[in-house]
Chain A
Amino acid sequence: EAQVTQNPRYLITVTGKKLTVTCSQNMNHEYMSWYRQDPGLGLRQIYYSMNVEVTDKGDVPEGYKVSRKEKRNFPLILESPSPNQTSLYFCASSSHEPGGPEQYFGPGTRLTVT
Chain B
Amino acid sequence: GNSVTQMEGPVTLSEEAFLTINCTYTATGYPSLFWYVQYPGEGLQLLLKATKADDKGSNKGFEATYRKETTSFHLEKGSVQVSDSAVYFCALSTGAAGNKLTFGGGTRVLVKP
Are A42's CB and B89's CB within 8 A?
yes
User: B100 contacts which chain A residues (CB < 8 A)?
Assistant: 33, 45, 48, 58
Give chain B residues whose Cβ lies under 8 Å from the Cβ of A101. Answer: 99
A58-B49 CB under 8 A given contacts A42-B89, A99-B32 = no
Separation in Å of the B73 CB from the closest CB of chain A? Answer: 12
Measured CA separation A41–B104 after assembly (Å): 7
Q: Nearest chain A CB to B26's CB is how many angstroms away?
A: 14
Q: Are A44 and B97 in contact (CB under 8 A)?
A: no
Secondary structure type dominating chain A contacts: strand
Within 8 A of A (CB), among B45-66: 45-46, 49, 51
Q: Does residue B72 face the partner (Cβ distance < 8 Å to A)?
A: no
Given known contacts A42-B4, A50-B98, A56-B97, A100 and B43 CB-to-CB distance under 8 angstroms: no
A98 and B38 alpha carbons, distance in the complex (Å): 25
Find A103's partner among B4, B8, B46, B97 (CB 8 Å cutoff).
B46
Say yes or no for A43: interface residue by CB 8 A criterion.
yes
Complexed CA–CA distance, A18 and B36 (Å) = 32
A75 within 8 Å of B by Cβ?
no
Q: Is B44 an interface residue (CB 8 A)?
A: yes
Q: How many positions in chain A have a CB within 8 Å of any CB in the partner chain?
A: 30
Contacting residues, chain A, for B43 (C-beta < 8 A): 4, 90, 105-108
Q: A42-B104, A56-B98 are in contact. List 11 more A-B contacts (CB 8 A).
A: A4-B43, A40-B8, A40-B106, A43-B44, A43-B89, A48-B100, A56-B97, A92-B101, A100-B33, A100-B49, A105-B45
Which chain B residues have a beta carbon within 8 Å of chain A's beta carbons?
Answer: 4, 8, 31-34, 36, 42-46, 49, 51, 89, 91, 93, 95, 97-101, 103-106
* Chain A residues at the B interface, C-beta cutoff of 8 Å: 4, 31-33, 35, 40-45, 48-50, 56, 58, 90, 92, 94, 96, 98-103, 105-108
Give 8 nearest A-B pairs by CB, closest first.
A100-B32, A42-B103, A48-B98, A105-B43, A31-B98, A105-B44, A43-B103, A102-B46
